[in-house]
Structure 1
Amino acid sequence: MASSIDCPPRPRHRAPYRAGRRAGAFVRVRGRAAWAAVALVVLAALSGCGAGTGTTTRDVPAAGAPGTARTAPDTANTAQGRPGTGAETRPPTRIPGLGPRTRAWIPANARQVVVVTGRHKDANRSWAVLYQHTGSGWEGGPAWPAHNALKGWTDDHRAGDLRSPIGVFTLTDAGGLLPDPGTELPYDQSEGFTAGGTGFEGEPLEGSFDYVIAIDYNREPGTSPLDRTRPLGADRGGGIWLHVDHQGPTQGCVSLSERHMEELLRTLDPDRHPVIVMGDADSLGE
């Protein structure tokens, strides 16, 4: 089933939405900043961000590395411990792999940053790492395998282009077909998150929306991920989510395994102002 909209299905019966604590969001798409409400367009009768048939780009960074050589950690402020000295290594003061321009896009109050990195602009496989600020620096978790859009990444996302938007976006709202797994984010359990059909590689899409986190690209923060408001206009796409991986590329979303989605939902804290930084390694390194 093809669609010019990026991700979710049209909402059906919905449970009451648990109101969030914050409605504002900072959004930066490469070269653009927008303070204000931006809205999500959810997909009518779709599929888990992926539809039809296609070919996956089998280009995955080395295990444990969320990008290329550009992701080398910042060691300028790292204590070099030696065996027997008791010295401890401090976390880096900068998130590895992010250049000065990308770092400038991250809100100053963000203390949780999900970095999703593809090896190149046309890659539809990527790696996701959750970084948390400890007070003295950034501590990164393991690199989780992820999928993004079929044709890779773009800094000028349009509806139906089959590319994921590059940028820095807040993460304010969550939901899914399954009950709340214990997240601090506002969570909407609804039958509207039902997914069906097959993806680009013929893989079943059932279960793709069991857990989702709305990425605040062209959506209204503080609303259910199923909200269809698109303040930037329909042509700019919408419905960009983190959701459960269906073992194939998406229409525009980022997908992780169900286990990692549960872990991410339980870890993200609105009081720590979580954001996602997403794109190919070269773009994020600028």
Structure 2
Amino acid sequence: MPSLHRCRIPHPFLFPLIALVAFLAAGCATVPHGSATHIPDHEASTFVPRDLPASTAQLVVVADDGGARATVYALQRSPDGWHTRLGPLEASIGKKGFARIGEKREGDGKTPSGLFPLEFVFGYAASAPTRMPYRQATENDLWVDDPSSPDYNTWVRRGETSASSFELMKLPDHRYRHGVVIGYNRDPVVKGRGSAIFIHEWLEMGRPTAGCVALNEAGIVSLISWLDPGEHPMILMGDAAVAAAPGREEGMR
């Protein structure tokens, strides 16, 4: 991913993040986590990036709640505008919160900020309740997180890579029972900028991730059931610090 370029005006996707942070701050300042404010339909378009592709009619928004907590909303475009379809959904993110745009690094414990495509759904079962492309994860499936490997940030089969470090796609627990691949640092892949960024099921409520976005089982199943590849779904992630920073990430997607 290209380096961060400073300019006087934030990237267009930051404006909806600023609006979302302000909205949540106004509506949730005294509301406990897990009881976040619903985004009414007449407010939904406020949180849509100016440069969202015209083909994208589904947008997942991950808003910072402080620390390793976040709230997820799913927005749908229709002929009469944008509407909230899911959320608020309680979520966990990286143990060190959100990285600023362009500052995500391998192993830093942070969730990347930005606007990214949602590529495909994966899980342990042979099939899943989703219209998205689906890939079953088995004991022989790995995701390479070794920055020195030519297979960095890709899904491979055991025996197909010489990488010294990788993540099992079928874990001994339920975290990857349902998941969605976030297209972060995937096209092109930049060594060391972070890998294996997913939306997946959390291990337990409130437990931070290494950089992914984690939901409870009901939340992730609702999300994968709603996603439609024909709507070219994308995800917008970021926190208040990113929204306030006068930075710009060229070629962010």
User: TM range, normalised to the smaller chain?
Assistant: 0.5 to 0.7
CA deviations on 1:133-165 (whole Å, 9 max, x unpaired) are: 121111113200000000001121100111100
What amino acid is the match of 2:136?
A: Q
- In the alignment, what sits opposite 2:134? 187
CA contact (8 A) 2:34 2:90 kept: no
Alpha-carbon distance in 1 for matches of 2:177, 2:239: 27
- In the alignment, what sits opposite 2:219? 260
Is 1:235 matched up with 2:192? yes
- In the alignment, what sits opposite 2:35? 63
What amino acid is the match of 1:173?
A: F
CA deviations on 1:159-214 (whole Å, 9 max, x unpaired) are: 01111000010112111112322211110112132214xxxxxxxxx100001100
- In the alignment, what sits opposite 2:68? 124
- In the alignment, what sits opposite 2:157? none
1:207 corresponds to which of 139, 163, 174: 174
2:104 corresponds to which of 157, 165, 188: 157
- In the alignment, what sits opposite 1:146? 91
What amino acid is the match of 2:171?
A: A
Structure 1 unpaired stretches of 5+:
1-26, 34-58, 67-71, 74-90, 197-205, 221-230
- Higher mean displacement: 105-114 or 265-274: 105-114
SS at match of 2:224: helix
Alpha-carbon distance in 2 for matches of 1:163, 1:277: 15
- In the alignment, what sits opposite 1:226? none
Which has the larger share of strand? 2
Structure 2 unpaired stretches of 5+:
12-30, 142-168, 246-253
- The Cα of 1:92 is off from its aligned counterpart by 2.6
Alpha-carbon distance in 1 for matches of 2:108, 2:51: 24
- The Cα of 1:266 is off from its aligned counterpart by 1.1
Is 1:218 matched up with 2:185? yes
Alpha-carbon distance in 2 for matches of 1:144, 1:188: 25
What amino acid is the match of 1:142?
A: G
What is the TM-score normalised by the length of structure 1? 0.59
CA contact (8 A) 2:176 2:201 kept: yes
- The Cα of 1:132 is off from its aligned counterpart by 0.6
CA contact (8 A) 2:128 2:134 kept: no
2:201 corresponds to which of 229, 234, 244: 244
What is the TM-score normalised by the length of structure 2? 0.66
Which has the larger share of helix? 2
- Please give the root-mean-square deviation of Cα atoms over the aligned residues, in Å: 2.9
Aligned length: 188
CA contact (8 A) 1:157 1:164 kept: yes
Alpha-carbon distance in 2 for matches of 1:153, 1:179: 33
Alpha-carbon distance in 2 for matches of 1:263, 1:31: 37
Quick one: percent identity of the two aligned structures? 29
